Amino acid sequence: MDTIHKEVVAFQHVSKVFNNETVALKDFDLSIKEGEFLSFLGPSGCGKSTALRMVAGLGEATKGSVKVFDGSPKEIIKETNDLAFVFQDANLLPWRTVLDNVLLPLELRGGNKKKHKQEAIRVLEMVGLKEYLKSYPRQLSGGMKMRVSIARALAAKPKMLLMDEPFGALDEITRQTLQMELLDIWQKENMTILFVTHNVYEAVFLSTRIAVMSASPGRLSSLIDVKLPFPRRLKVRTEQEFTDYVDIASDRLENGNERKELA
């Protein structure tokens, strides 16, 4: 990672006010570089999901601008396959098999069906679900559903993966496995990942950088560079350095939100 990476996402003085006058984001500034694994960490209501959704063009800034790959999010969605989004619940279509769910993004874009199928099988293999091509979502566990959802996001070979608390509903053991798998995929596919979470351990374990946010109004309170080496395995969690980062992140999370209470 010694090359100079170009900027892929730029938030410039972004504010977002919803109809009912809640300020979801206030004067949010952030520049994200290619190849980063950046987590938005914060309590509920801090605007972290709002920020992520803006990158995907799901919702526009009230003030300021969001740029993705030097374009507007809406243009990028329309013209490229560069963005993929993973929702909190797996969000699979229950009437489609695992394979057909993964094929969906390719199908919607049109093109060669045989190639699509090869690609879908490749990504399903990557998440370890090659045996379940013909299963329906209701037959899968929560963790497997999330794997399918990740495979679907990867199917169109995006340059950036946006993940909105994808592991929030999973049990701890499944979550840890998926976190490691995600890191493997991130390194193998050379992607940028933006990841929303309210779990400090998750943020430290996964990220190269953490954007700590605070609530009402939602804003960026600090940035933490996480310099733990890759590949990160389960054992990292018991090392002093990891614990130090967790301490820092927890502190900043608390301070950021105390400041609000004083003001």
Partner 1 sequence: MSMPSVEVTKTRDLLTKTSEKPKSKSFNKFKQVYLGPIIAFTIFIAIWQAVPTILDLKHYILPKPTDVVGAAISDWHLLWPAVQITVVESLVGFLVSAVIGILVSIILASSKILERSIYPYAIVLQTIPVVAVAPIVVIWFGAGYNSIVVISFLIGFFPVISNTLMGLNSVDKNMDDLFLLYNASKWQRMWKLRIPSALPYMMAGLKISCTLSIVGAIVGEYIAGIGGGKGGLGYSITVAAIQVKTSYLFACGIAAAILGIGFYLLVSLFANSMLKSWHESAVKGEK
Site residues for partner 1 per CB under 8 A = 56-58, 77-78, 83-85, 87, 89, 91, 93-95, 104-105, 107-109, 136-138, 156
Question: CB-based contacts of 75: which residues, under 8 Å, 6+ apart?
Answer: none
Q: CA separation (Å) from 206 to 67, 171, 246?
A: 24, 17, 12
Q: What is the torsion angle, in degrees rounded to the nearest 10, for the CA atoms of residue 115, residue 121, residue 123 and residue 125? A: -150
Strands (DSSP E) found in the chain: 7-17, 23-33, 37-41, 63-68, 83-86, 160-164, 192-197, 209-214, 219-225
Task: Provide the edge-to-edge strand list for the sheet that holds 83-86.
Answer: 83-86, 160-164, 192-197, 37-41, 209-214, 219-225
Q: Quick count: other Cβ atoms within 10 Å of Cβ 96?
A: 14
